[in-house]
Structure 1
């Protein structure tokens, strides 16, 4: 949701905000996110990655609370919901544009659903080959920010990619924390995440780079495009990023990374809200 909100507030900054498009984008993104969680639960249970050695929250298929068949039904329902609101979103967001643009954004939505499923489910899931970080950066950062902005304004500016990079890197940080927490079980289950490939020590350095570069990208955006001191309001979120980063680099036991997934997600949302409030205040 942070990516969608970021794209929306940036469109407001440039005078092209569309309320219906933004609401539909948020709803569609949430449907796809829930579908992704269902598919991840199902896929990891089928691959044997979800087992008694898993550190994170209990999974429903692996624990027997939901059967694989029931989870498949849930995924089908989410696909239908995602397509229904997604098509409506693209129709609203491409009014006045040509058919190829409509088809392009429709294709983006379908690719997002396929990517959500193929992360851990199906044959040769890319999450098991270490490409999850790239997918999260694209589908949680660049696509929602730039896509929402375009569907609101019908244009794209180069500086727009700076806050999109910030959201993408912070979101990738959440996945990296997840993978640092699960490193032992992933390694034993044949899930070759970036963390498994580089090891815990380098993964902490990688995580620090994700957060620091994300912070610098947002600062650079305001330096280049800022029009009011209010737009620096998002800096209030940075002490939370840095505090957690210091604590993360001191962790030795993998299971202790778990609370920081929620913290980073919420801090990213706070960063986005402050970013948006700063833009709104600069226009008041």
Structure 2
């Protein structure tokens, strides 16, 4: 049964179901940046003879909740700072276009954090309480990514911070909680994933470059300029694929990981989709292709690791 939001609260989107509106607020295309690293870390643990399905599921859900909460904080603070309007291009807009109360957005985000903390207690009790300290740092980073007086996302460091925490940190935690150790292989494989997660953020900033500049943001895309930012995006894709070849040549990973090149067409589509475009709506397909590159690349890494284990 479809649940409807009262018309007086909906503004221009009176016919959308509540489920569809909330699904959009979670920005599902970004959630791959949460479950891809967990999958890779767990695949690496399996390669080393360790597999704990409950810890995997707890880590997976916790990571997705933190990412979803980060998206909601972004929705809330962009509205509070007057950056979102009904004409804004993007997948969010629950406050300005769908009439969701700002306090509701904030409360849901905090609820996601609370559930993630409970899952974190189980993870720590099953592995190490040092994970709690790392988890707290991750949650503070998620909040201050768009919250607080100096949001990370509005600075030139958004790509680096998001890539590091959602790539390196999540992969290493996912590996550690199942093996009680950290391997060189797990760290090295986390690098291209971190780069591609940073690429998602860069693509978002390329799309929003003009609006962000007007609002006083100082993102990396603004500092570099549109053309150089697109070149950087292409460079990030290039390094990610080259990194896998180097790891294989050094004997660190199996040749099975070369299947990641199955995602290359999406990366090429993303770069080409940004070239010559200036309107945000024109760049939406390129931004989507960037997120899809991370998703396909990441799952193919996990698949390659599993194939090297099974074959």
Q: Do Structure 1 and Structure 2 share a fold, with TM-score over 0.5?
A: yes
Shift of 1:83: 0.4
Paired position in structure 1 for 2:136: 110
Paired position in structure 2 for 1:27: 61
Deviation per CA, 1:246-280: give whole Å up to 9, x if none: 33335344432212333222332222222222222
Shift of 1:227: 6.4
CA contact (8 A) 2:257 2:304 kept: yes
CA distance in structure 1 between the partners assigned to 2:242 and 2:127 by the alignment:
31
Larger CA deviation: 124-133 vs 223-232: 223-232
CA distance in structure 2 between the partners assigned to 1:126 and 1:244 by the alignment:
24
Secondary structure at 1:257's aligned position in 2? helix
CA distance in structure 2 between the partners assigned to 1:212 and 1:46 by the alignment:
38
The two structures, once aligned, show a CA RMSD in angstroms of: 2.0
Paired position in structure 2 for 1:55: 89
Segments of 4+ in structure 1 off by > 6 A? none
Paired position in structure 2 for 1:161: 187
Deviation per CA, 1:134-174: give whole Å up to 9, x if none: 21111211111112111121222223222211111111111
Deviation per CA, 1:176-210: give whole Å up to 9, x if none: 11111111111111121111121101101111111
Relative contact order, higher structure (CA 8 A, sep 6+):
1
Matched, 1:224 2:224: no
CA distance in structure 1 between the partners assigned to 2:305 and 2:267 by the alignment:
21
CA distance in structure 2 between the partners assigned to 1:228 and 1:125 by the alignment:
40
CA distance in structure 1 between the partners assigned to 2:308 and 2:201 by the alignment:
33
CA distance in structure 2 between the partners assigned to 1:223 and 1:17 by the alignment:
28
Does the C-alpha gap of structure 1 residues 127 and 240 become closer, same or farther in structure 2, counting only changes over 3 Å? closer
Query: Given the alignment, which residue of 185, 195, 201 partners 1:175?
Result: 201
Paired position in structure 1 for 2:5: none
Larger CA deviation: 39-48 vs 256-265: 256-265
Does the C-alpha gap of structure 1 residues 237 and 83 become closer, same or farther in structure 2, counting only changes over 3 Å? same
CA contact (8 A) 1:21 1:93 kept: no
Which has the larger helix fraction? Answer: 1
CA contact (8 A) 2:172 2:186 kept: yes
Matched, 1:40 2:66: no
CA distance in structure 2 between the partners assigned to 1:172 and 1:231 by the alignment:
21
Unaligned stretches of 5+ in structure 2? 1-34
In the superposition, the TM-score normalised over structure 1's length comes to 0.89
Paired position in structure 1 for 2:10: none
Secondary structure at 1:60's aligned position in 2? coil
CA contact (8 A) 2:167 2:190 kept: yes
CA distance in structure 1 between the partners assigned to 2:109 and 2:271 by the alignment:
35
The count of corresponding residues between Structure 1 and Structure 2 is: 276
In the superposition, the TM-score normalised over structure 2's length comes to 0.82
Matched, 1:269 2:303: no
Query: Given the alignment, which residue of 22, 45, 51 partners 1:17?
Result: 51
Paired position in structure 2 for 1:256: 282
CA contact (8 A) 2:273 2:286 kept: no
Does the C-alpha gap of structure 1 residues 58 and 159 become closer, same or farther in structure 2, counting only changes over 3 Å? closer
